[in-house]
Structure 1
Amino acid sequence: MAALENRLFVKMNGLGNEIVVLDLRAAPLAVPPQEARALARPGVLPFDQIMALYPPQTEATSAFVRIINADGSESGACGNGTRCIALYEAGRTGAAHMVFESVAGPLDCTVAGDGITVDMGVPRFGWHDIPLAGPVADTRAIELQAGPAEAPVLRAPAVVNVGNPHAIFWVEDVAAVDLARLGPELEHHPIFPERANISVAQVVSPEHIVLKVWERGVGLTRACGSAACATAVAAARLGLTGRRVTVTLPGGDLVIDWRESDDHMLMTGPAEFEFDGRLTAAMLDATAGAE
């Protein structure tokens, strides 16, 4: 019997970022990577992340959350998924404010109308915090490129950790970049010992960025909240934007406010329910064909 068989799930999305919520607080168990990969198959229950909720470890928090990618690996942060579990918890309890625990730290959430704001914490910029394979002089622009050596398509990304590692390449037109081709190579580049989320960003104005993301462990995604945060703070560090920007992803807009008083990143955007159900043995059988 599969570990997750008969478990209830809720399918949600944040800006089209596909999220499966598993509330395991009543009967905690680990999410086996092979079962996550089986669920993510086309025609079964495709997702970008599973947000698995466990009993809280600290008083006055709602749950400890573990974030599982479609390839079965674990992530430290998922902004869109956090908005989804905030909406889920608000629907379950009626609360407009809640705090979740994660491996990256506390996630303070406020649900107000159509907008959900998540405090994503403080970004980290040290090369060892990203982490990178070795020291660099300045994480605002590191020596890395993609494409032909004589005419690189992408070069000199900013790198930042916002609970997971990100590399952001600045481009004139995100639509002109074949990130589906370049993303896998860059995600697994030796400079990133824990792999990295790869973004291409187009600064439209000091208040607006257009973003496309290759997400570590997922691939091309319609939205990535942590990438939006990473890009916003990287742009502000370089003087390309102010500390409050709208980030436009294929799935829609997020507002990122890098709060000056304490350097916390506040991400505001929508989330929505799609459907719920119960996991079956067939859905969790990695040896079966897609249904």
Structure 2
Amino acid sequence: MKFTKMHGIGNDYVYVNCFEEQVENPAEMAVKVSRYHYGVGSDGLIMICPSEVADFEMKMYNADGSESEMCGNGTRCVGKYVYDRGLTDKTTVSLMTGAGLKILQLKVVNGKVAAVKVDMGAPELRPELIPVDLPGEAIMGHHLTVGSQTYEIHCVSMGNPHCIVFVKDPDQVDVEQVGKMLENHPIFPNRANIEFVQVVNRNHLRMRVWERGSGETLACGTGACASLVAAVLTGKADRQVTMDLLGGSLDLDWSFEDGHVYQEGPATFVFDGEWLGE
């Protein structure tokens, strides 16, 4: 199986061109290739597939083999792959995901995609559609006790479930311990991605993320978008911000005009390879 390793500000995946390759058991393959010491090493597997309703379709699996609806950083890398490898000459690309249709604006420099702006769609706040098993029209500022600590959580879906916790300094948080407990809390029937967010100022946020099925990663595009929504709704930030993550920065905009969240950032090629293992 031929593959390409790419990353979006450190959020790295193994990408397979399913116009040419066939992945028999993608959940099992995701686990194998994602292992850093025994496989390729990645946050998961993303397959670039034909689509009857869009230019391309993206299917993704986390490092633990669970299927995921959406990956913001992954969409940018798909945009770079399909343009740089000649699968399209468009600079506006439609991409079907498990979270619906996404539109990618490719920023081309010297014939290669350097950055991608993605329309991530409108955030979902209704608890039953995130999903989170709590009453109310939206979950903003709910106090949840986990272990001996109580956290103020804010829940948003960007096609996948997110739980945002605002903190003074993300570097002082035990992301693995707290993230794992919150991810698997019974109020999240499909588990959740957990974001720990610092408000630097109204146009500047910092974030660390514990991703459902992958653990702590260097970046999460959907998590960054969900965190912006929570910050705006709680009066902590304006609609346009720079989000700093461990792997780099994203420019985010929650548009007042159409209600959609837009994220823009780089997409980076790492290497091509061929998987010869079983």
Q: Give TM-score, length-normalised by structure 1.
A: 0.89
User: Is 2:23 the partner of 1:32?
Assistant: no
Amino acid of the residue matched to residue 87 of structure 1? K
User: Of 106, 116, 139, which residue of structure 2 is paired with 1:111?
Assistant: 106
CA distance in 2, matches of 1:32, 1:86: 21
Question: What is the match of residue 287 of structure 1?
Answer: none
CA distance in 2, matches of 1:269, 1:30: 32
Change (3 A) 1:180 1:108: same
Distance apart, 1:140 and its partner CA? 1.4
Instruction: State the SS of the aligned residue for 1:241.
Output: coil
Question: What is the match of residue 90 of structure 1?
Answer: 83
Higher mean Cα deviation, 88-97 or 179-188? 88-97
CA distance in 2, matches of 1:241, 1:15: 23
Question: Retained in 1: the 8 A contact 2:117–2:264?
Answer: yes
Question: What is the match of residue 181 of structure 1?
Answer: 177
Question: What is the match of residue 241 of structure 2?
Answer: 245
Q: 1:32-85, CA deviations, whole angstroms, 9 ceiling, x for partnerless residues?
A: 322211111223211113211221121xx2211111100000111101111101
CA distance in 1, matches of 2:24, 2:238: 41
- The structure with the largest strand share of the pair is 2
CA distance in 2, matches of 1:19, 1:70: 9
User: Of 69, 74, 81, which residue of structure 1 is paired with 2:74?
Assistant: 81
Q: Report sequence identity in percent.
A: 37
Question: What is the match of residue 4 of structure 1?
Answer: none
| Stretches (4+) displaced over 3 A | 26-32
Change (3 A) 1:189 1:104: same
CA distance in 1, matches of 2:267, 2:261: 18
CA distance in 2, matches of 1:211, 1:64: 29
Question: Retained in 1: the 8 A contact 2:197–2:205?
Answer: yes
Question: Retained in 2: the 8 A contact 1:171–1:202?
Answer: yes
Question: Retained in 2: the 8 A contact 1:89–1:95?
Answer: no
Question: Retained in 2: the 8 A contact 1:51–1:81?
Answer: yes
Question: Retained in 2: the 8 A contact 1:49–1:81?
Answer: no
Q: Give TM-score, length-normalised by structure 2.
A: 0.93
User: Which consecutive residues of structure 1, in runs of 5 or more, have no partner in the other structure?
Assistant: 1-6, 285-291
CA distance in 1, matches of 2:134, 2:117: 35
Q: Write the mapping of 1:145-184 to structure 2, written as runs, cut at 5 A.
A: 145-148=145-148, 152=149, 155-184=151-180
Question: What is the match of residue 128 of structure 1?
Answer: 128
Question: Retained in 2: the 8 A contact 1:79–1:120?
Answer: yes
Q: Which has the higher contact order (CA 8 A, sep 6+)?
A: 1
User: Is 2:51 the partner of 1:48?
Assistant: no
CA distance in 2, matches of 1:123, 1:138: 11
Q: 1:93-113, CA deviations, whole angstroms, 9 ceiling, x for partnerless residues?
A: 343221110121111111114
Q: CA RMSD in A?
A: 1.5
Instruction: State the SS of the aligned residue for 2:100.
Output: coil
